[in-house]
Amino acid sequence: MTAGPAGWSVDADLTISVDAGPGRGTTAHVTGSGQDLHVRAERPDLLLAAAGGTASGPLARELSAAGLTAELHGPRGRVLSLDPGRTSRLGALVFASRHVVVDKGGWRVLASSVWHRARASRSRPGRSS
């Protein structure tokens, strides 16, 4: 990323792999140009679960403060967006950034990501049931 007169500018093309346990994982392809980032994931629920909900807040706030937008897409379309021009109480609560907006079709993905995070925290070594 480079700083420009209007804020930050990005040029990105990378792949992220997430290992969410035996038989559970996903890859995401991140592309970006200018002030727009696009993330396409096979399993956006696993990507969100790995991102850690409110743990992703500092990144979302920094991107938003820099004037960047981002969209997360899954096989069924857009799940959520990061937009400095929009606000959401749900985004503030779940992602610790009021600029994260969950799309209508993203509710199911968000619920699944919460389930996967809860499941992962119960299966960590050293935890007793």
Mean pLDDT per 10-residue section of the chain, whose length is 129 residues: 61 91 87 95 88 78 91 94 92 88 85 74 55
Q: What was the pLDDT predicted at 123?
A: 63
pTM above 0.95, yes or no: no
Bridge partners of 80, per DSSP, are: 72, 102
Closest CA to 57 of 42, 48, 31: 48
Contact 72, 80 (CB under 8 A): yes
Q: What was the pLDDT predicted at 116?
A: 73
